Amino acid sequence: MRILFAGSSAIAVPSLSAICNIDGIELAGVLTNPDSPRGRHGTPQPTDVGEAAGRLSQSVPVLKPEKLDACAREQVNSLKCDILVSFAYGHIFGPKFLALFPRGGINIHPSLLPKYRGPSPVQAAILNRESITGVTVQSLALKMDCGDILAVEQLQLTGRETAGSLSELLSAKAAKMLPETLKKIAAGTVKAQAQNDSEASYCTLISKDEGLIDWSQSAAEIEAKIRAFDPWPMCRTTHNGLELSILESAVYNDKNGNILENKPGRVLGTDKKSGILIQTGNGILAVTRLQYQTKKALFWRDFLNGARDFSGSQLG
């Protein structure tokens, strides 16, 4: 069975590698986004999947079309693929494109569908402080993330995951699930289960502005946001006109009760075990790692050595 793998983000790389080691399965081509400028000098660089494909095999063609138009379809059709496997590619496949694959297509989605359909399910699970998430392999449908479920596995959450660390866990789980699913498809033994649309929830693309901290939110909401937006777009506030990233935090166990007379965003002081204490709209946030724009990230004690006016200041 010949496969076209479509993906762009780093989360998809282990699944791409897994395909290369399945008996009876041939990686016929890789579809990814075009190279884009990166780094200080803006040099065009391949996507994570594009880079990985080059390392895995020099003989497998890597397609990087701007659009999935007639020209792209002609390139794909020439590869004579049986099935499309998609993971974090970033484009919706139309009916003409899907018609190129006799066995249709499957998509790997890092959530327990029908929960968190859309482009940011990893962040959504953290933002909503879920205790469990997982990976779903679904058949590709014309509506986003609405295909029949072919395989699903759950993952218990600790409440300390960042988007980066959770993506790595789900990425590894997906790579273990994919070979068995493809073998069942090839053998005609895979069982499909329709999604319950009445239970569906959705997530959207994340913008850089969403990283701005609203101190009127609760400490629990802000702490989850800091983890959900790590490594991008990172959570930020301002101090004395300077942009300040909050990198690590926890909800403070305030034995004396919430100090309501302080305005949200007020730096209350420190706790030698918990870090810098900041008032929120409900509860206190204990911050342990911070970073001024253009400066290096610092542990809270080191940070205060260079920002002696920080305690008692107003953030945001």
Tens digits of residue pLDDT in 174-226 = 999 999 999 999 999 999 999 999 999 999 999 999 999 999 999 999 999 99
Find the domain containing 176 and state its range.
2-199
Which CATH number characterizes residue 236's domain? 3.10.25.10
In Å, what is the CA distance from 212 to each residue of 14, 69, 229?
A: 32, 38, 10
Residues 6+ apart with CB under 8 A from 31: 4, 5, 6, 7, 63, 65, 76, 89
Q: CA-CA distance, 85 to 75, in Å (whole number)?
A: 17
Domain boundary among 138, 173, 199: 199
pLDDT at res. 25: 95
C-alpha–C-alpha distance, residues 203 and 214, integer Å? 20
The half-sphere exposure of 249 on its side-chain side, counting CA atoms within 13 A, is 34
Are 172 and 106 contained in the same domain?
yes
Calpha distance 38→10 (Å, rounded):
15
Residue 166 shares a structural domain with residue 227: no
Kindly report the CATH number assigned to the domain that includes residue 141.
Answer: 3.40.50.170
Are residues 138 and 181 part of one domain? yes
End-of-domain residue from the set 177, 199, 221: 199
The residue from 171, 199, 227 where one domain ends is 199
The predicted-structure confidence for 197-209, as pLDDT tens digits, reads as follows: 999 999 999 999 9
pLDDT digits (tens, 9 = 90+) for 68-92: 999 999 999 999 999 999 999 999 9
Same domain, 155 and 272: no
Is 270 part of a structural domain of the chain? yes
